[in-house]
Chains A and B, each alone.
Chain A
Amino acid sequence: MKKLLLILLLTLVGKIAQAHIGSSGVQMQGQAGPYKVMVSVQPPDVIPGTAQITVFIESGDARKIVARPIYFYSGDKGAPTPDELIPVPGQPGQFKGFVWLMEWGSSSAQIQIEGDKGKGELIIPIVAVSTAERVMPKELGIGLSILGILLFLLMITTIGASVSDGILKPGEVLTPRQKRKKWMNMGIATVACSLILYGGSSWWDSWASEYKEWLYKPMKGNAAILKDDNQYKFQLKIDTTSWRKQRKGSMLSLLIPDHGKIMHTFLVRMPGLDAFAHIHPERKDSLTFEAYLPKLPAGRYIVYSDIVQHSGFAETIVDTLEIPAQNLKSENLKVTAYEDTYVVTDPIDSPGEVPLDENVVICGKPGTKTVFKDGSYAVWEGKPDRPLEAGKPYLLNFEIFNPDGTPCIPEPYLGMTGHVAVVRSDGSVYIHLHPTGTFAMAAEQTFKNRISDTSKIAKRPAPAIFRDSVDKHLARLNAMPVLEREQFLMTEMGMYETNAAGVMGMEHGNRISFPYSFPKDGRYRIFLQVKRNEKVLTGVFDVKVTDPTTL
């Protein structure tokens, strides 16, 4: 009883575990048939639960929008009939609703639009995992405790009455012996009810610990520096201890490439966020990933490595790494992938202080011009003094210009017109974005394939064969000339098909938009990557995000 009361009364506000490095929401911008839409999905932090969906129609006039969940395991055939999303009053073109996510793992929301231009469809991958640990709010705990005590007392009283005056004939009163019996029975009832409560509380405890056991725990890895012919090599080894308990099995053999790479690793120097690299480690064995390190300045770095499962389940492995000083000249450095890049900029806390080097850019702010190292520049739409709001979906719009001020149309790079990495100043939020949104492209592809697959239950591929085929595919991709590879990747992601409306999926102009919603307030640094004249360029921007709910 005491224990139960203690549980009821010990009240703290729920703590949200940091899965997906702070960004649990999914933002997607895309083409649903003839409609250009932006979709924002907020997955539940407890599974089973409901994901909130907001659809913004950017072009066209939608009459009816419906949504339904599609799980990887049971596919299109195992999905329920859709539910309608309701128009938001006073917000034309905006619809809201939710989908029920009952299964842990790789999921998605399929959105179907009907309107003046006919029908359109879109699928958004969602990672459905439980991340929240909650404790009962104080008021509820007190209310329930009072009810609990009342129930406890009433039950004991009722049991007492059952064996005493309850069996007396009308008008009879209890004899002293019967009174004693009543009290004895109430005593026994107290002990019995307390034992039941104790049992209930232990049951609850075991439930809570079982829940915690299944709470999403980000995949762990150990980053290290190796030496290879005087050059440093980055290595990430996945930590599989405790996997047996979590029944993760051979899932590392079931990784799939996301726009042509098995792993995307971002290295950000802490605490200034003043050095950044985007590299693509290759798989040495199922646990080990390696890439040549670019000429990053020495220091402590946070490592973010993105991987995607066969089922579309995307994860980020986080670790820290100490990089020692390197004396080799840049031109002598080997690179693992043609697309690997790095950049040095000024620290987030002391703008302007940046050592001159060949790969240095100066950090900019919204609305200001940020010059890339080849003299071309990007402008981030917005006002430098106006902070953004946490929890609000934004389109981060960048315009790219040639050094002479003419619009620059970026070349595709890893199948995309641009990449963005968003990092909060303390490293607690990280995301790798594309103009299509915050999800892994490979996950979207997985779901598109799954929908066209008619089997009711997804079959698990043989790990060794699957891994081998992925490695072969990657080797083939690496051997392709750059142009051919880009064309292949864009076609694979459904972005290179031309139809009457033009090129699918993205706008080909000098403006690139990245949909994103900052999960919490703070200072963020945005690393924008585009390709011009066959060179990957990185620009850096800072932004302040405020939380309107805590003002």
Chain B
Amino acid sequence: METTIGPPPPISGRVLPLQGNPGIPVYIFATVFASFCVITGLIWDICWHMSIGRDGLLSPPHLVIYLGAVVAGLFSGFEILRKTFWGNSLEKSRSVKIWGFFYSSLGSLFCVWGALSMLTSAPFDDWWHSTYGLDVTILSPPHTVLILGIIGIQFGAMICVVAIKNQIRAFEGLNYIKKKTLDKTLFWLFALSAGFLLTIWYTLISEELGRMRVHRSSYYIFAGAAFPILLMSVGKAVSHKWATTAVAGVYTVLMLTTLWIIPLFPAEPKLGPILNHIDHYQGFQFPLLLIIPAIAVDYIRHRFGHLNDWQMTPILAASFLIVFFVVQWFFGGFLMESPYARNWFFGSHYWYFGNNPDWEYRYKFGPWMVESIPVLLKGLGIALLATLVSTRIGLAWGNWMHKIQR
């Protein structure tokens, strides 16, 4: 595990030394901003559906999502065209060449792909509504195209940042303080972009991770498969002791601020049936306490930095799952059952307007939501396997991100 900035790479005959006073290109900020827009727009959109229900192509949350797509698409697209037609040879040497003609950064390619994918989803979704009915579900094929596009943009933002961050290492003659400041800014840009990506990761499977399911093993199987892949990779991608914690922290802060701010605004359901009448927005969900296993992960990878990835995998996976299980089992139980969780702070009282507010199992685990000990243990065993695989892939993915130069 690399914990300090490595020595400058040896200069072979083929490598161009980078001179000068590097800054952070504007498109980097633009793509991170775009990544922020798409995820906040998406969370707002979910709250909109839970509170108002009816939306159109130009509903305010959609506009925020589109803004993200447009910013990411335009800035990345422009960057590609600029490098291709007006870029100097140094810039071109720091780019990937595609289709034998275009020069681009790798992250911009993902961003353009994401924007194009989101663009594709709009007419597809429109046709879908006229064919199979208006929005009734988060995951329909056109919505999946949209979400893949959103993920493309967010992934692209992260790759853009990580490439610039890795390039900084190759600059010669840069003073240490300047390098350190740049690196710090880039670390936070990275933590933001990876945190936004983690948030969408969570949003995608949030239906499986509702507080009602917290005493089922499926909850831990989903979490174990989904989160380590990203959390472990960020620890590998950048050389920072608290990288995982920072990324989980960004997720937590974003989830909390949206949870606390959105319900301050008035909203009323516009689609029947309305069994639960409300006059303000319903918040999304209290974040998973991913930050606690993230701290554990950061501590362990620092403590056992001398081990290789295969040796690290079981330690990291097991500690992630154990900490996550313990924390979430009890905290989820609190969110579900405690009257102290039914408030603006924890948001357990938010309830879809089409659901009966007097439902018996609103604040208690339904019998189908709890498992016998053997079933639970078996499920947790599967969760451990999933976590192991996810962790190992995450580490490999992180190694790749650490190597990205362009």
Contact = CB atoms under 8 A, between A and B. Distances in A.
Interface of A: 14, 46-50, 68-71, 73-74, 78-81, 83, 100, 102-103, 130, 132, 134, 136-137, 140, 143-144, 147-148, 150-151, 154-155, 157-158, 161-173, 200, 203-204, 207-208, 211, 456-457
A31 B53 CA distance: 33
The 5 closest A-B pairs by CB, nearest first: A74-B273, A171-B16, A78-B273, A161-B96, A48-B134
B98 A157 contact: yes
Interface in B94-131: 94, 96-99, 106, 109-110, 112-113, 116-117, 119-120, 123-124, 127, 129-131
B184 interface: no
Given A73-B273, A80-B270, A147-B120, A170 B15 contact: yes
A140 B120 CA distance: 11
A80 B272 contact: yes
A140 B144 contact: no
6 contacts: A49-B133, A68-B272, A74-B272, A147-B120, A166-B404, A207-B132
Given A154-B116, A158-B113, A172-B15, A166 B273 contact: no
Given A46-B131, A68-B272, A207-B140, 14 more contacts: A46-B129, A71-B273, A74-B273, A74-B275, A80-B272, A102-B136, A103-B272, A140-B123, A151-B117, A151-B120, A161-B96, A161-B109, A170-B405, A204-B141
A11 to B, nearest CB: 11
A318 B151 CA distance: 51
A78 B354 CA distance: 9
Nearest to A153: B99
Interface in B116-170: 116-117, 119-120, 123-124, 127, 129-136, 140-141, 144, 163, 167, 170
Nearest to B119: A147
Nearest to B11: A169
Contacts of B378: none
Contacts of A162: 106, 400, 404
Contacts of A68: 272
B272 A79 contact: yes
Contact of A100 (B132, B163, B271, B356): B271
A14 B124 CA distance: 16
Given A151-B120, A165-B97, A457-B356, A100 B270 contact: yes
Contact of B112 (A103, A154, A165, A211): A154
Most buried by A among B109, B272, B356: B272
B109 A154 contact: yes
B106 A166 contact: yes
A74 B274 contact: yes
A282 B269 CA distance: 44
B14 A172 contact: yes
A144 B272 contact: no
A151 B270 CA distance: 36
Given A155-B113, A157-B99, A162-B106, A143 B123 contact: yes
Interface string B283-321: 000000000000000000000000000000000000000
Contacts of A78: 272-275
A79 B277 CA distance: 10
B18 interface: yes
B271 A80 contact: yes
A158 B109 contact: yes
Contacts of A79: 272-274
B133 A203 contact: no
Interface string B329-348: 00000000000000000000
B60 interface: no
A456 B354 CA distance: 11
B113 A80 contact: no
Contacts, number: 150
B178 interface: no
A356 B258 CA distance: 81
Contact of B96 (A48, A132, A140, A166): A166
B403 interface: yes
Contact of A171 (B93, B131, B132, B163): B93
B9 interface: yes
Given A78-B275, A170-B18, A170-B90, A161 B124 contact: no
A74 B274 CA distance: 7
B54 interface: yes
A171 to B, nearest CB: 3
B213 interface: no
A86 to B, nearest CB: 16
Given A144-B120, A169-B15, A456-B356, A211 B113 contact: no
B208 interface: no
B403 A167 contact: yes
Nearest to B105: A166
A102 B269 CA distance: 13
A170 B119 contact: no
Contacts of A130: 133
A166 B405 contact: yes
Contacts of A166: 96, 106, 163, 404-406
A163 B120 CA distance: 27
Contacts of A208: 132
Given A46-B132, A140-B123, A211-B132, A161 B98 contact: yes
Contacts of A132: 131
Contacts of A164: 96
A208 B140 CA distance: 11
Contacts of B130: 46, 134
A47 B133 contact: yes
Contacts of A103: 272-273
A464 to B, nearest CB: 27
A155 B111 CA distance: 11
Given A81-B268, A148-B120, A158-B110, A203 B273 contact: no
B7 to A, nearest CB: 14
Contacts of B271: 80, 100, 102
A22 to B, nearest CB: 21
B80 to A, nearest CB: 11
Contact of A167 (B94, B97, B268, B400): B400
Interface string B371-383: 0000000000000
Contacts of A50: 134
A155 B114 CA distance: 10
A200 B142 CA distance: 10
Nearest to B131: A134
B268 A102 contact: no
A516 B337 CA distance: 56
Contacts of B94: 170
Nearest to B54: A100
